[in-house]
A and B are shown apart, each in its own frame.
Chain A
């Protein structure tokens, strides 16, 4: 089973819940892998006392201009949907960070002047602690294209841990990286907080998941602040509220110290139990 932990709004608790949930399930002898897909800012490893066991370079294919036979016809720029290629008076300029590796320019170039070559966009790290393994994608500085790395990180975890349950810690927002981190899962858990901001971004996230035909459930974090807008919305939309995690300064303190929470705070553990019961009922 693959579960994505996502949210519209940032800072609602994706990493808190995914790292604690994975640790808790692993302590209950579940075969489980945590996959950190927040490749622009992966930080799950900070909380888990892990050791790095393997690193792999992540490449994407980009066109590289070969001037030899090029006639500067401009077909490459014309067919590029992403403005990654510019036909200048005396040369063809490629912007690797904009390239989506679609091969259109390379395939349609009449003089084969744009062969595709691999270029590094990030690394995939595999970590381990005494209970379980985790995999993270880490995008290189200056890279703009998270999707290929997210896809490769998912693939790496699938190949290395074929029969394990997977928890995907998704990036915030509702754009392409979130979609990539959600489309292959069996279920998407959206974490929000009961504030107007939380509700606004939750609504966007729910709409996104509808387009993907993904089933969703909601966790309300920092329950006790804000208003009842999120609860009313979930009722109206028929979205299950999996658990409500109480607003508690101690949780924030532990998180800030890079510590796990479920083994120290009872109500947080109870919330994880509710999540586990809910996941168990999904099968």
Chain B
């Protein structure tokens, strides 16, 4: 009897210890400035470094770190800030249905699958197409819109469609979860302010388009920047001037640099400003016209 009691106590303690097993984190990828702090010592985050519950990571502006928890789940942190690894314990949870439940679901699905054979009901078995398929996407999106950085202002995400389709489905996704969807009829653009309130700051979203009866286009990225980060970037551009310049020249240069940095909405404002400040400058007007034409700005 005593032996059984000892065994039960041992099992109870073991189970308790196993339940409290600390999570282990592995740095999988790093972009930008990411620092690891362990036992009050800071070091640069490196791919392959193991972290534990007591570790901290400091994510800088425009940086990203991807972490694998318990060799199982992958998550990324893009928001700047300092994080204790214990904050990420929810990301370590893996949704595991029990084997019994999965087995019963499988059996039920099999039992309720209609009986039949190709010979008895050929129509149900004619889904094998003996032809190669070519292109089920008639939408064309400018490759410059692959990534859009956005702070504020009006800017349309636009596309071309080579078919007669006039109805499109726009979808904004957070990871794989849709956060905004809109059916667009008779137009080939959607203004970012129409859904910008759904965007969380500094979080990458993906967007995709679909014409009726077609497949989704490739996903593209949209990131809404916070005010301090955006202003810091603009100030850096302003400070980068080599020689004295007029306000119009500065606006034009900022427009160019922001367009290169994929801040299209903001670049448009600066191109417009440059053109208004120096209406006689042909380069500014032509650049503005080309920008409007390229991005289908009315």
**Do A and B share a complex?**
no
